Homo-oligomer: A and B are copies of this chain.
Amino acid sequence: MSQPLSNTSKLCVHTITTKPWPIETAIDRFAAHGVKGMTVWRDALNGRDIAATGQRMRDAGLSVVSLCRGGFFPAATVAGRQAAIDDNRRAIDEAAALGAPLIVLVCGAVPGQPLDVSRAQIREGIEAVLPQAAAAGVRLAVEPLHPMYADSRSAINTMQQANDICDAINSPLVGVAVDVYHLWWDPQLQAEIERCGEAGRIFAFHICDWRTPTEDLLNDRGLMGEGCIPIRQIRGWVEGAGFDGFNEVEIFSNRLWAGDQEAFLGRIVEAYLQKS
C-alpha cells in the first residue's frame, strides 16, 4: 500500500473532468488550485490554435501530460480502417503541436465483429501510425477498457491483453495507460502491472472511483473515495512497478458536471490528497 499523497506535484486533471469549462478556464483554474498536469481531450481544442494552447498551459505551470484520444482502429471496411488510421495521424500532429508526449488510445471494437478480428485490426492500425509517431516524438498508450465496453469501444479489456499486444508490437513507443476504473476488478491486475513495469511500458495512470449503484455505463464515474476501488493499493502497485509520472484524474459524470465546477475542482484536490 502506497503512502497518502502529501502534495499536488503529480496531480493531473483531464479537461473532460471539468467538461463544462472551456480549456482556457480549465487552464486558469487548474493552475490556481495547484494542479500540475493536464491531459487534453481533442474536443477541447476545437477552434483553438493548438500550439498556442499548449504554450498557454506551460506558461501557467501545467505540464501537457497527454492527448485523449486516438484509437478506434477496427472497422468493418478497408475504407473505415484507413479513415481511422488517417484520424490517428491527425491526432499525432495535434499532440506534436500541443507539446503532448503521449496519446491515449481507446482501441475500438465493432459490434458483432469477433473480438480477435478487432484485436488484429488494432495491432495493424497502431503499426501503421508508428513511423509518424516516431517522427513526431509522440508515444502511444493502449488503454485497456472495462469489459462492459467490449461491444463497441475496445476489444482490449484487461492488462494482460494490453501487455500481450505491446509484446506483439514490441516498440519503445507503445505502452499502456492503467486506469483503475477499467481494471480494479481483475484478480490478475497486480501481476500484469508488474509485467508491464518490467517491460518499461506503464505510460500513464488514471484514477477515479466506481460508484454503487452505477447508473450509467458511460457517465457515472465517481470522485476518488465515492466508490469501492482500492485506488491507493493500485497506485502502490504501479509505483512499485517503476511508474513515477502523473496521477491523472479522469471522471465522466453527468452528476458532477451538473454542479459548480470550481467547487468540484476543490473537491478533486481534497479527494486526491485524502483518498488516492
Contact = CB atoms under 8 A, between A and B. Distances in A.
Interface of A: 111-112, 114-116, 146-148, 150-152, 157-158, 161, 184-187, 210, 212-215, 217, 227-228, 230
Contact of A146 (B112, B148, B213): B148
Contact of A210 (B114, B151, B227): B151
30 contacts: A111-B212, A111-B227, A111-B228, A112-B228, A114-B230, A115-B185, A115-B187, A116-B187, A146-B147, A146-B148, A147-B147, A147-B148, A147-B185, A147-B186, A148-B148, A148-B217, A150-B184, A150-B185, A151-B210, A151-B212, A151-B214, A151-B228, A152-B212, A152-B213, A157-B185, A158-B187, A161-B187, A213-B217, A214-B217, A215-B217
SS class, residues of chain A in contact with chain B: loop
A98 B42 CA distance: 58
Contacts of A213: 152, 217
- Copy total for this chain: 2
A186 B185 CA distance: 14
A86 to B, nearest CB: 24
Contacts of A186: 147
Given A146-B148, A148-B148, A151-B227, 11 more contacts: A114-B230, A115-B187, A116-B187, A147-B148, A148-B214, A150-B185, A151-B212, A151-B214, A158-B187, A215-B217, A217-B217
Contacts of A184: 150
A115 B188 CA distance: 12
A88 to B, nearest CB: 23
A55 B114 CA distance: 43
Contacts of A185: 115, 147, 150, 157
Nearest to A161: B187
A232 to B, nearest CB: 12
Contacts of A114: 230
Please give me the 10 A-B residue pairs with the lowest Cβ-Cβ distance, nearest first. Answer: A150-B185, A111-B212, A147-B185, A111-B228, A148-B148, A151-B212, A112-B228, A151-B228, A152-B212, A147-B147
Contacts of A158: 187
Contacts of A112: 228
